[in-house]
Homo-oligomer: A and B are copies of this chain.
Amino acid sequence: MSLLVVGSVAYDGIETPFGKTEKILGGSATYLSLAASYFAKNINLVGVVGRDFADEDIDVLKSRAIDLEGLQVDNSGDTFFWSGKYHYDLNNRDTLDTQLNVFERFDPVIPEKYRDSRYVALGNIEPSLQEKVLEQVASPGLVVMDTMNFWIEGTPDALKQTLKRVDLLVINDSEARELAEEPNLIKAADKVRAMGPESLIIKKGEHGALLFTGDEIFSAPAYPVIDIFDPTGAGDTFMGGLLGWLAYTNDLTPNNMRKAVVFGSVMASFCVEEFGPGRLRSLNEKQIYDRYREFRRLSQIPEVD
């Protein structure tokens, strides 16, 4: 099934305890589509880049067969740029610089041929823009959305408006607590789902993820990555793997949603092994399925009589 991905395409400057890059391909739509491309076939990207966007970065996306008709090139400025520095334990980071550049004027226009996309991934952008996307798609089978504290605090009304049209919300634990104003994650999940999304995934970083769908809860472990090199994009990559699997299988049963969460975790565990989206350019099916099986072994609880 076709998957529409809307979000940022950016350049990142990243410093971790293990190295530093000046300007590397990034952005939520980038990580999302690259991760999804290992499963879904028709990936339609909508975003904007500036005059400085390099041909070789276009090629990175093209080499994964991502359709770029929806990628606007705005020659009036540069590409969205973010730079940050991770702390020693990689769980926290400081933003050093944010230059919105052409992203500030981003107007997500969905090309005609994308409008019947069955699966829609709304990366972390302004809620009113996310809603604008939904107004342009015909009748999506599944709308999946990410958001962040910035929008929860800054544009709560627009966010709640958009949430009503979302089928699956993917956020992290602190965002879930803040959105629900409730510290207990299980209770927070109920409150968030009452705002619209039938299903909810709460990402817990190094502690895995929780899926709430129907009356089921699924607790997925995180993969014990020994050499985390750069956590940038792990959350978007998780969402990309998840969506890619769902679009590929077109099966929204709880059992298949569990698989999707694990494939999301698998892709995220690869992502952090290299700087930026580097690792997402060179994976193969065997590596992905092998790691899925490792996740299974890792969390297998034996039966008791």
Taking beta carbons and an 8 Å cutoff, which residues of A are in contact with B? Answer: 88-91, 177, 183-187, 204, 206-208, 210, 217-222, 224-226, 228, 255-256, 258-259, 262, 289, 292-293, 295-296, 298-304
In the complex, what distance in Å separates the CA atom of A89 from the CA atom of B185? Answer: 10
A107 to chain B, nearest CB (A): 40
A292 to chain B: which residues have CB within 8 Å? 304
Interface of A is mostly: mixed
A279 to chain B, nearest CB (A): 18
Asked if A258 and B185 make an inter-chain contact with CB atoms under 8 angstroms apart, the answer reads no
Q: Please give me the residue from chain B that is nearest to A295 by CB atom.
A: B301
A258 to chain B: which residues have CB within 8 Å? 300-302
A298 to chain B: which residues have CB within 8 Å? 217-219
A220 to chain B: which residues have CB within 8 Å? 299, 301
Asked if A183 and B300 make an inter-chain contact with CB atoms under 8 angstroms apart, the answer reads no
Asked if A219 and B304 make an inter-chain contact with CB atoms under 8 angstroms apart, the answer reads no
In the complex, what distance in Å separates the CA atom of A296 from the CA atom of B219? Answer: 10
Asked if A221 and B224 make an inter-chain contact with CB atoms under 8 angstroms apart, the answer reads no
A302 to chain B: which residues have CB within 8 Å? 255-256, 258-259
A295 to chain B: which residues have CB within 8 Å? 301
A219 to chain B: which residues have CB within 8 Å? 208, 221-222, 224, 298-299
A187 to chain B: which residues have CB within 8 Å? 226
A-B contact pairs, 20 of them (CB 8 A): A88-B183, A89-B184, A90-B184, A91-B183, A184-B226, A185-B224, A186-B226, A204-B207, A218-B299, A219-B221, A219-B299, A221-B299, A256-B302, A258-B302, A262-B301, A289-B304, A292-B304, A295-B301, A299-B299, A299-B301
Decide yes or no: A184 and B218 within 8 Å by CB, A207-B207, A255-B302, A304-B292 being known contacts. Answer: no
Asked if B90 and A183 make an inter-chain contact with CB atoms under 8 angstroms apart, the answer reads yes
Q: Please give me the residue from chain B that is nearest to A222 by CB atom.
A: B219
Q: Please give me the residue from chain B that is nearest to A257 by CB atom.
A: B302
| New A-B pairs, 6, CB < 8 Å, besides A89-B177, A292-B304, A296-B301 | A207-B208, A219-B222, A221-B299, A256-B302, A258-B302, A296-B303
In the complex, what distance in Å separates the CA atom of A187 from the CA atom of B206? Answer: 14
In the complex, what distance in Å separates the CA atom of A262 from the CA atom of B259? Answer: 22
Q: Please give me the residue from chain B that is nearest to A210 by CB atom.
A: B224
